[in-house]
Structure 1
Amino acid sequence: MAAASIGWRQRLRQEWLLLAFALLVVALALLDPQPLADYRRWLQIPTLAGLLGLLVAIQGIRDSGLVQHAAGALVARVHTLRGLGLLLVASTALLSTVLTNDVSLFLIVPLTLAIGGICNLPVARMAVLEALAVNAGSTLSPIGNPQNLLLWQHAQLPFLRFALAMLPAAAVMFALVALLTLAWLPKGRVLLESAQVDGHAVSAPLATGSIAALVAMVLAMEYGHALIGALALTLAFALLARRSLARIDWLLLATFAAIFLGLGHFAELPLVGRGLDRLALDRPLTLYAAGIVASQLISNVPATVLLLDRAHDAIALAVAVNVGGFGLAIGSLANLIALRLAKQPQGLRLFHRVSVPFLLVCAPLVYLAWRWFG
């Protein structure tokens, strides 16, 4: 009994974010009850369904051995830790512009973990760098993250015009991430444990099926059928790859559901709305600061929804909430995904030690670049 009690206490400490937002959901429901339709809207079922589908597909790719095989091939060709780290960071940023920020993390973070298992790459540092890189890379593209997609559709701008308007901000962000990568990673060479490279067999049927499932899920999300896609993938894996389905991080889904409900409700409290009405959001600097601060409090996607109807410049708001993805982990849900996938001891503390100063440096530089070149 004592061992079980200790185990539960450790699990609760690990799931503190889930518990905190679950308490927020309950508190707001008691203090400010709303119709059931509002809770369904705040829950963002398509987003949760998309996350479930991605988890299913990526778990299949992991279990197939393909990630471990790719890790060995990559490490064998890159010989310095800084070169390897910069390659992973650049790949994360590039993928996030075309596959969205969460998909790129689901691909790169497992690869990083596999690489860390066969060489001396500092995985905890790489998880932080990849979280920063995905925020930088996704800033450029109208489909790179949810807030850009929302603002792009709201402003009805051409795809290329939106991307060009975001280019100065994205360029500054990525340059800072690249410099941090070179400064923070050690100078040494990759020390390859060759005995671990050759020991990973690849299950071709599971690998092929899981990659097809990932592509199908991305397409389903793109065309508004995330729920159907997630249910189809879950059913297929339940029939054909039950072990992979059992290893999915279901508590991650529960955590995001609690975050969506709690922050969605909080953002629509009358007191919050009245406070925003007093701000002069027609001023670029005020809107920029408001977007960053709101992102630190309620994450950048809810912050976008909160400020959307009050902002006179969709690009200014887009720059602000993308910068707001740095700083506190809650600033971007991509940060939470990266840390959760990496599962590194003290990962959250390490993230804040780097990301908060990064925000303080990045925010004024991005604002100057955007105002000068935008």
Structure 2
Amino acid sequence: MRQVGRFSWRIWQVMLGGALAVLILGQIAPADALAAINIDVMVFLFGMFVVGEALSRSGYLDLLARQLFRHARTPGQLLFFVIFGFGLLSALLMNDTLAIIGTPLVLGLATRCRLPAKLLLLALAFAITTGSVASPIGNPQNLLVALDSGMGAPFVTFASHLLLPTILSLAAAWLILFFFYRKGWSSLLDKEAGADPAPESDPALSRIVKCSLAVLLILSGANIAASLLTGAIALPLPLIGIAAALPVILFSSQRIAVLKSIDWCTLVFFAAMFVLMAAVWETGFFQSLAGTAGVTSVPTILATSIILSQFISNVPFVALFTPLILQAGGGTTRLMALAAGSTIAGNVTILGAASNVIIIQQAESRGETLTFMEFMKIGVPLTLIQVGIYAVCLGVV
């Protein structure tokens, strides 16, 4: 209900209203509200927003888009490259990172290739949510499963259980989007007609942002190597985010303009979400629902994860459910079902994944958006298919 009469509400305004309501009504104390805000997440997102804004402002992002997708000749091929490209990248880089960088990229592609912006926004959202399932660093809840369970060699464990169903699930996303949007497509892409002139590149900022991307890739690679060798994550995500942003902050003459232009509204959304979710958490309502649910059945874990993640953030849900599975004697397969279910829950509704919110906020700042119903029209059937894929691949026929 973001449109009420003449009034239109942004997602961050709705979430902020919820947070203010629980504070005013005394559902959470101000000190507890401050403590509930996850500083690690806020710092990481801030760093990634700085890198993303510098990428867009320098013109290097447009150049990357042209290079990455220049081989696509038809809309179906471009859709395939977007889904599998971003999907596989999200297993190596946190999906929120790709949401920040990818949104302006796919919007530029939509304009240049005369494709519906909603199509490529949905493709990006489903790709980075689904692709992040296959890795312990693809999203925060996977990382929590790997760390809280004491899992050895988490990259190997996640890949051996979830890589195949994730690839199949990305294929399902391509098929469903192709089916819903195939009408009106031309057989070939018109890459130039109607395209705006390429933005004037800032060579100095481009050089700096390349350094930022190099830092991001090197530190993420170090985390992957450390996990394979020691089974632990070496570098915390806030450190990676800030390290990637530092070249822009320290050396760019446009640092002030970049800092003014980053998506502060989304940071407000996350701070408000942490406060609201903490208030919900303290009621104990969802803990009682999760505690009475079966935790030894893969289908039940998948279903419970998807349903409850629509009402509370999937990260606190996983924090609750992981010890329940371990206490019930559930092994690796059940933990993988928890990781998969809590992640693909983001394909049901916009609020099911933080990366969805980032995409919508970024798109709305550029004049595009997706409604809840537009998202669910494709997200619900896609999620049902993906649940079947993960259930079968995790040993349930």
Fold-level match, TM-score > 0.5?
Answer: yes
Please state how far the C-alpha of 1:44 moved relative to its aligned partner: 0.8
Q: Establish whether residue 268 from structure 1 lines up as the match of residue 263 from structure 2.
A: no
Please state how far the C-alpha of 1:192 moved relative to its aligned partner: 2.5
Please state how far the C-alpha of 1:338 moved relative to its aligned partner: 2.0
What residue in structure 1 maps to residue 105 of structure 2?
111
Quick one: distance in 2 between partners of 1:293 and 1:173?
19
Quick one: distance in 2 between partners of 1:106 and 1:112?
11
Matches within 5 A, 1:143-222: 143-155=137-149, 156-158=151-153, 159-186=155-182, 187-188=185-186, 189-193=188-192, 196=195, 199-216=198-215
What residue in structure 2 maps to residue 339 of structure 1?
360
Q: Which region of structure 1 is more displaced relative to structure 2, 363-372 or 145-154?
A: 363-372
Please state how far the C-alpha of 1:163 moved relative to its aligned partner: 1.9
Quick one: distance in 2 between partners of 1:76 and 1:270?
52
Q: Establish whether residue 85 from structure 1 lines up as the match of residue 106 from structure 2.
A: no
Distance 1:281 1:112, change over 3 A: same
Distance 1:239 1:45, change over 3 A: farther
Aligned to 2:112, the other structure's residue is in SS state: coil
Q: Establish whether residue 133 from structure 1 lines up as the match of residue 127 from structure 2.
A: yes
Q: Establish whether residue 226 from structure 1 lines up as the match of residue 238 from structure 2.
A: yes
Aligned to 1:99, the other structure's residue is in SS state: coil
Unaligned stretches of 5+ in structure 1?
1-8
What residue in structure 1 maps to residue 325 of structure 2?
311
Quick one: distance in 2 between partners of 1:88 and 1:44?
31
The total of aligned residue pairs comes to 362
Of 55, 60, 80 in structure 1, the residue corresponding to residue 54 of structure 2 is 60
Quick one: distance in 2 between partners of 1:65 and 1:360?
39
Amino acid at match of 1:272: F
Quick one: distance in 1 between partners of 2:213 and 2:68?
22
Of 253, 256, 267 in structure 2, the residue corresponding to residue 242 of structure 1 is 256
Amino acid at match of 1:105: A
Q: Which region of structure 1 is more displaced relative to structure 2, 141-150 or 165-174?
A: 165-174
Please state how far the C-alpha of 1:308 moved relative to its aligned partner: 2.3
Whether the 8 Å contact between 2:176 and 2:378 is mirrored in structure 1 is no
| TM-score relative to the length of structure 1 | 0.86
What residue in structure 2 maps to residue 13 of structure 1?
8
What residue in structure 2 maps to residue 355 of structure 1?
379
Whether the 8 Å contact between 1:96 and 1:134 is mirrored in structure 2 is yes
Please state how far the C-alpha of 1:232 moved relative to its aligned partner: 4.6
Quick one: distance in 1 between partners of 2:36 and 2:250?
28
Quick one: distance in 2 between partners of 1:255 and 1:218?
27
Whether the 8 Å contact between 1:299 and 1:325 is mirrored in structure 2 is no
Amino acid at match of 1:161: T
Quick one: distance in 2 between partners of 1:74 and 1:317?
33
What residue in structure 2 maps to residue 32 of structure 1?
27
Quick one: distance in 2 between partners of 1:341 and 1:136?
20
Amino acid at match of 2:341: A
Per-residue Cα deviation, 1:220-270 (whole angstroms, up to 9, x for no partner): 786226268278568437864322222212111101111122113312323
Per-residue Cα deviation, 1:161-202 (whole angstroms, up to 9, x for no partner): 222122343133212112224323434211122684764332
What residue in structure 2 maps to residue 3 of structure 1?
none
What residue in structure 2 maps to residue 368 of structure 1?
392
What residue in structure 2 maps to residue 300 of structure 1?
314
Unaligned stretches of 5+ in structure 2?
224-234, 327-333
Whether the 8 Å contact between 2:99 and 2:356 is mirrored in structure 1 is no
Whether the 8 Å contact between 1:237 and 1:245 is mirrored in structure 2 is no
Amino acid at match of 1:201: E
Aligned to 2:360, the other structure's residue is in SS state: helix
Quick one: distance in 1 between partners of 2:176 and 2:128?
14
Per-residue Cα deviation, 1:293-315 (whole angstroms, up to 9, x for no partner): 11111232232123222223422
Please state how far the C-alpha of 1:152 moved relative to its aligned partner: 0.9
Distance 1:76 1:19, change over 3 A: closer
Please state how far the C-alpha of 1:13 moved relative to its aligned partner: 2.1
Distance 1:299 1:160, change over 3 A: same
Whether the 8 Å contact between 2:83 and 2:170 is mirrored in structure 1 is no
Quick one: distance in 1 between partners of 2:216 and 2:108?
24
Quick one: distance in 1 between partners of 2:373 and 2:13?
18
Quick one: distance in 1 between partners of 2:251 and 2:274?
27
Distance 1:108 1:23, change over 3 A: closer
Percent identity of the aligned residues?
Answer: 23
Please state how far the C-alpha of 1:318 moved relative to its aligned partner: 1.2
Aligned-residue CA RMSD (Å): 2.9
Please state how far the C-alpha of 1:76 moved relative to its aligned partner: 4.9
Quick one: distance in 2 between partners of 1:359 and 1:122?
22
Q: Which region of structure 1 is more displaced relative to structure 2, 213-222 or 303-312?
A: 213-222
Distance 1:286 1:115, change over 3 A: closer
Amino acid at match of 1:136: T
Whether the 8 Å contact between 1:284 and 1:316 is mirrored in structure 2 is yes
What residue in structure 1 maps to residue 266 of structure 2?
252
Amino acid at match of 1:205: A
Please state how far the C-alpha of 1:209 moved relative to its aligned partner: 0.9
Q: Which region of structure 1 is more displaced relative to structure 2, 298-307 or 133-142?
A: 298-307
Please state how far the C-alpha of 1:346 moved relative to its aligned partner: 4.1
